[in-house]
Structure 1
Amino acid sequence: MDRALENHTSYIGRPASELPTPSLIVDLPILRRNVDTLHEKVEKLGIGFRPHVKTLKTLEITRLMLAGGKHRSIIASTICEIRGCMPLVKEGLLDEKILYGLPIYPGALQDLVKLRENVRILLLVDNEEHIDILEKSGTQPWDIFIKLDVGSRRAGIPANSIALQKLVERADRSSAVNINGFYCHAGHSYAGRSMDEAQKNLETEISSVLNAAALLPADRALIVSIGATPTAHVVEYLKANIPSNVKVELHAGNFPCNDLQQVSTGLVSDTDQAIRVAAEVCGVYPERNEALVNAGVVALSRESSGYSGFGRIIGKPAWAVVRLSQEHGILGTNESERVAENFKIGQRVNLYCNHSCITAAAFYVYFVVDENDIVREAWIPWKGW
Structure 2
Amino acid sequence: MPARLTPAIDDMAGLNALFAAVAGEQAVGLAVSGGADSLALMVLAQRWAAGLSGAPKLIVYSVDHGLRREAASEVAMVLGAAKALGLAARGLAWTGAKPATGVQEAARIARYRLMSAAMAEDGASVLLTAHHLQDQAETVLMRMAHGSGIEGLKGMSGMAEIEGVRVHRPLLDIDPSALRAVVDGAGLTPAEDPSNKDPHYERVRWRQAMPQLALLGLDAGALALFADRMAEVDAAIAQMADGCFTEIVRLDGFGAARIELAPFIGLSPAISTRLLGRVLNIVGGRQKPRALGQVERLRQTIAESGLTKTTTALGCVIRIKDGAIAVAREPGRSLPPDALLAPHGELVWDERFRIVNASPEAGLTASVADYLPRHRLEEFLGFKVTAPAEAIRTAPIVRDADGGVLSLGGWSFDERIKVQLLID
Q: Give the structure-2-normalised TM-score.
A: 0.25
* Greater percentage in strand: 1
Task: Return the TM-score normalized by structure 1.
Answer: 0.26
The one of the two structures with greater contact order (alpha-carbon pairs below 8 A, sep at least 6) is 1
